[in-house]
Amino acid sequence: MVNPILLIIIPLATAFFIPLLAIVWKNGSRYLALLAALANVLIGIKLLPYVLEKPIHVTIAGFKAPIGIDLLAGPLGIVFSLIISITGFLVLIYSIGYIRDESINKYYTLFLLLLTGSTGMVLTNDIFNLFVFFEILCISSYILVAYNRDEHGLEAAIKYLVLGSVGSLLFLIAIAIIYLKLGTLNMADISDKFDALGGSYRMMVVVLILSGLGVEAAIFPLNSWLPDAHSSAPSSISALLSGFVIEVALIVVMKLVYSVFHAMQVLNALAVVGVITLLVGEFAAFRQENIKRVLAYSSIGQVGLILLALSINSKAGISAAVLQIINHTASKSILFLVSGYFILKTGSYRYSDYSGIAKRMPVSSLLFVLAALSLIGVPPFLGFFSKLQIVMAAAARGSTFYVSLVSLVLLGTIVEGAYFLRIAQVLYFGRQQDTDSGWLETGNAAGIDMESVGNAPVSAVIPVLLLGIVVVFGFLFLTNLNGVTGSIAGEITRALSLASLF
């Protein structure tokens, strides 16, 4: 059996090694990074069967759990690190063709550290270690958002950074309270002792952590960085950020809420917040013209949906949420990756300028549409099943409260469908403009020469196709997927306990 700590160490060591390699071999970093991601994928696959039977508990520096740091590689950890490394691997393939400037070594280093940070977040079982990995994740994303060094990227990065810092500040205060009252940092230990705390302390810790980690998880009032950051980053990075970064933060928050703090009281409020997030995201996306902002707002909407699902307080809901995360990762990555080449080829961010681009880039456009359909929740794509499961799980709670939330979710879906299909129609049938004079098919307002638009390179199409397979044929493996997500749900809803680790 492989030690799960390698999942963190391999990309980290590779990131440290890249500057050395760069001296000898200028472009070697892209292949090295690929190799590292691939290694992580393989390790994850190898570990998955073990983990589904019994979580692996790893001590660091040979000290037992409450004293030293430890990692807990349960189904959640391994599945999410698989999601992370697979997405990372595919986006790395994409980056070969997409990122072509002088500082690619730095790009790949940052990329690997982003993977490290997010993998660490899902694997760690120590709350301060979580903070450290959270910061690694955040900082690498700040930099990557500004990677192009253009005005928008920098501005978005600054906003992201300030908000992330305020969030981590709140998080640290929560850690301080925990340590002050409980004298421990290990999550299992906290879980054992937490219920004995006074109400106001528990409230404070939970709310602080929600509003601290919530910044990265893009819960509604805290997500104001998201549209800017996701739309200004290089598309490959947007794919990562939307693809797994926010989801990882979200699932970690919920893991804390469920299995560490047992704070089921907040779930109703969170469900409401989730629905608000969803509605804000979908409605705001409806008004966007910049394709990446549309996608970014749609991510907010999806996060709201996932949050709602996670707040249902039933295994079915969490399991559905994980399924939705998988779907969102694949679909949103496709959308961002494809839109990256749309932007690159046409030089415009407005989707109304991509009129009829489907004739020039057929595969990309097709996958764009399929991914969009999956996000909307159209059968038989994966997104439908996850959304259906979420809705059913919510309805299964049987209360009017959840039923009304579900109806709002469905309302959001309608809006989502409206704007996504508007884009899809533009891709295939040209621009549409709702003026009083009616239908206008004036393809090229921006003066883009569609004839010169070529197809995307193979390095971009392959990852998109592979992700497309997940989206389109995912439903064939629904039973298997549900098995895995079910065990994750089991892990999240079970209270952690120090005794159970040994």
Partner 1 sequence: MRRFFSLILIIGFGFYLVTVIGRIPFAATGEAKGSVGVQIVNDTVNDTGAANAVTSVVVLYRGFDTLGEVTVLFLAALGMSLLLKGTEEVKARVFDESFILKTGSYLLFPFIVLFGLYIIVHGHLTPGGGFPGGVVIATAFFIIVMTSEMVRLRENLVSILESLAGLTFIALGIAGLLGTKNSFLANFMGKGVFNTILSAGIIPFIYAAIGIKVGSELTGAVGSMFLSPFGKQEEAGE
Partner 2 sequence: MSNLITIENIVYLASFGLILIGLFIVFSDKNLVKLVIGLDIAETGVNILLVSTGYIQGKTAPIFSRTGLKASQMVDPVPQALVLTAIVIGFGVTALALALVVRLYQKTGTLDVSEIRGLKW
Partner 3 sequence: MAFSMLFILPVIGIVLSLIFVKVDFLKNLINLTIFGALVYFNILLLNSVGETFKLPFAFLGQSLTFRVTYLALYFSLMINGISFLTAIFSWRFMRERENSSLYYVWWLTKTLGMFGVIFSGDFLTFFLSWELMSWGTYFVMVQRGGAAAKASYKYLVYAISSAMVLLAGIVILYASFGTFSFAELSKAYSNISTGMLILTLVLFIGSFSVESAVFPLHSWLPDAYSETFSPMSSYLSSISTRLGTYGIILFLFVIAGVSVIDRLQIIGAINFRYVIGVFAVLTIIVPTFTAVFQDDAKKLVMWSGIGQGGYVLLGIVSGSALGIGGGMFHMMSMLTFESVILLSIAAVEYRTGTTNMNKLGGLIKKQPVAFIGLLAGIIALAGIPPMNGFVSKWFIYRSLILSGYPFLAIGAMIGTLATILAVYKLIHNIFLGQLREEYNGVKEVPFDMQLPIWILIIIVWGSAVFPGITFSLIAKIQSSLGLTPVPYSLNGIATSAGDLDMLVVSIVFVAGLVVAYMVYLLGHRRKHVIQYDNYAAGHFLNKDIPYNYNAHFYAGMEHIFEPYRKKIIARSEKSLAALTGTIGDYLRHIYTGNVSTYAYYIVAAFVIGAIVLGGVF
Q: What is each CA distance from 47 to 3, 14, 54, 222, 353, in whole angstroms? A: 9, 21, 11, 35, 46
Give the one residue of 73, 112, 157, 252 binding partner 2; rule: CB under 8 A.
Answer: 157
CA 60 to chain centre: 28
Nearer to partner 2, 227 or 463 (CB): 227
- The item of partner 3, partner 1, partner 2, none sharing an interface with residue 232, based on CB under 5 to 8 Å by kind, is partner 2
Handedness of CA 41, 10, 48, 387 (dihedral sign): negative
Q: Tell me: does residue 193 bind partner 2 (CB under 8 A).
A: no
Cα–Cα nearest to 450, from 354, 366, 369, 368? 354
- The item of partner 1, partner 2, partner 3, none sharing an interface with residue 19, based on CB under 5 to 8 Å by kind, is partner 1
**Contact track, partner 3, 432-451, x by CB under 8 A:** x-x---xx-x----------
CA distance 404 to 407: 5
3-state class (DSSP) for residue 349: coil
Q: Tell me: does residue 410 bind partner 3 (CB under 8 A).
A: yes
Minimum distance, C-beta of residue 10 to partner 2, in the bound complex (Å) = 22
Nearer to partner 1, 112 or 406 (CB): 112
- The item of partner 1, partner 2, partner 3, none sharing an interface with residue 140, based on CB under 5 to 8 Å by kind, is partner 1
Task: Compute how many residues bind partner 3; rule: CB under 8 A.
Answer: 77
For 469, residues 6+ apart whose C-beta sits below 8 A from its C-beta are: none
Q: Tell me: does residue 170 bind partner 3 (CB under 8 A).
A: yes
Alpha helix locations (H) across 222-314?
Answer: 225-232, 235-240, 246-255, 267-286, 291-310
Q: Tell me: does residue 163 bind partner 3 (CB under 8 A).
A: yes
CA distance 176 to 163: 20
Q: Tell me: does residue 285 bind partner 3 (CB under 8 A).
A: yes
CA distance 467 to 497: 37
What is the residue whose two structure tokens read 């939330």?
Answer: 405
Q: Tell me: does residue 469 bind partner 3 (CB under 8 A).
A: no
**Contact track, partner 1, 315-354, x by CB under 8 A:** ----------------------------------------
Binding to partner 2 (CB under 8 A) within 263-302 occurs at 284, 287
CA distance 395 to 390: 8
Cα–Cα nearest to 208, from 261, 140, 245, 276? 261
Give the one residue of 7, 84, 86, 136 binding partner 1; rule: CB under 8 A.
Answer: 136
- The item of partner 2, partner 1, partner 3, none sharing an interface with residue 57, based on CB under 5 to 8 Å by kind, is none
Cα–Cα nearest to 330, from 230, 197, 239? 239
DSSP per-residue letters across 1-35: ---TTHHHHHHHHHHHHHHHHHHH-TTHHHHHHHH
8 A C-beta contact, residue 30 and residue 117: no
- The item of partner 3, partner 1, partner 2, none sharing an interface with residue 113, based on CB under 5 to 8 Å by kind, is partner 1
Binding to partner 2 (CB under 8 A) within 206-225 occurs at none
Binding to partner 2 (CB under 8 A) within 237-266 occurs at none
Give the single-character DSSP code of 31: H
Element (H, E) at 73: strand 70-73
Q: What is each CA distance from 314 to 70, 388, 392, in whole angstroms? A: 28, 15, 11
**Contact track, partner 1, 158-187, x by CB under 8 A:** ---------------x--xx--xxxxxxx-
8 A C-beta contact, residue 354 and residue 426: yes
Stretch that binds partner 3, among 75-83, 97-105, 121-129, 372-380 (CB under 8 A): 372-380
Give the single-character DSSP code of 455: P
Give the one residue of 98, 131, 225, 341 binding partner 3; rule: CB under 8 A.
Answer: 225
CA distance 355 to 431: 5
8 A C-beta contact, residue 31 and residue 466: no
Q: Tell me: does residue 284 bind partner 3 (CB under 8 A).
A: yes
CA distance 62 to 388: 45
Helix 267-286 × helix 400-429 angle, to 10°: 20
Nearer to partner 3, 221 or 457 (CB): 221
Q: Which two tokens stand for residue 155?
A: 């501005």
Q: Tell me: does residue 388 bind partner 2 (CB under 8 A).
A: no
Q: Tell me: does residue 262 bind partner 3 (CB under 8 A).
A: no
Q: Tell me: does residue 72 bind partner 2 (CB under 8 A).
A: no
Q: What are phi and psi of 499, to 5 degrees?
A: -65, -30
- The item of partner 2, partner 1, partner 3, none sharing an interface with residue 175, based on CB under 5 to 8 Å by kind, is partner 2
CA distance 239 to 217: 15
- The item of partner 1, partner 2, partner 3, none sharing an interface with residue 221, based on CB under 5 to 8 Å by kind, is partner 3
Binding to partner 1 (CB under 8 A) within 19-78 occurs at 19-20, 23, 58-63, 66-69
Task: Compute how many residues bind partner 1; rule: CB under 8 A.
Answer: 58
Binding site for partner 2 (CB under 8 A): 128, 131-132, 135, 139, 142-143, 146, 149-152, 154-159, 161-162, 164-166, 168-169, 172-173, 175-176, 179-180, 183, 185, 227-228, 231-232, 284, 287
Binding site for partner 1 (CB under 8 A): 3, 5, 9, 12-13, 15-20, 23, 58-63, 66-69, 103, 106, 109-110, 113, 116, 120, 128-129, 132-133, 135-136, 139-140, 142-143, 146-147, 149, 154, 173, 176-177, 180-186, 189, 200-201, 203-204
